[in-house]
Amino acid sequence: MNTILSPAANSKECLQDIAFDLPGRFPIARWVPIPLRLIVGFGFMEHGFAKLSKGPDALAAILHALAVPAPHFMAWITILIELLGGLAILLGAFVSLVSLPMAALLLVAIFTVHLPYGFSSIKLMAVTATGAQFGPPGYECDLLYLACLAALVLGGSGPLAIDGLLRKTSAR
């Protein structure tokens, strides 16, 4: 019985049902992981393609300036994690596994690059005739990516995911 629409329902129970049983009341809620996968997967792949298009040597120079050991090797590892991890998230494949190195990249970015610039990822400095001028980004977007990865790991990759297909075939 739907207690939300029942006139005899206790208002406290009604609020609890609304607060704690939304996925049960709205079957569309099971599709929520799909936009998360699309955004996170595409975002990581875009960052990987940007690093690859500038050349791994450009990233290696940045990593060297940050005193990262083996900067050329770490540049390639970073690019591969972003490209392959992003693709895996996009497809919903091995989400729990690939989220670990992706989260590690985000944490390294927070503590080596973004932390000194504060939380906000958008710092409007000025608007000139050539357009808006922005300052260096903070760690806000990195935290959002971490939260999305955590949601996918804890809540599952949702429908239309390779993880679901693998789970079905291993259950046979």
Q: Where are the alpha helices (DSSP H) in the chain?
A: 11-20, 22-25, 33-54, 56-65, 71-80, 86-91, 95-109, 140-155, 162-171
Name the 3-class secondary structure at 134: strand
Note the pLDDT tens digit of each residue in 35-56. 999 999 999 999 999 999 999 9
| Closest residue by Cα to residue 89 from 171, 158, 17, 31 | 158
Q: Distance between terminal CA atoms of the chain?
A: 35
**Sign of the alpha-carbon torsion through 125, 129, 132, 136:** negative
Task: Specify the pLDDT at position 62.
Answer: 94
Task: Specify the pLDDT at position 18.
Answer: 67
Instruction: Record the pTM.
Output: 0.82
Q: For residue 79, how many other CB atoms are within 10 A of its CB?
A: 18
Q: Tell whether the model's pLDDT for residue 130 goes beyond 50.
A: yes
| In the chain, domain spans | 33-154
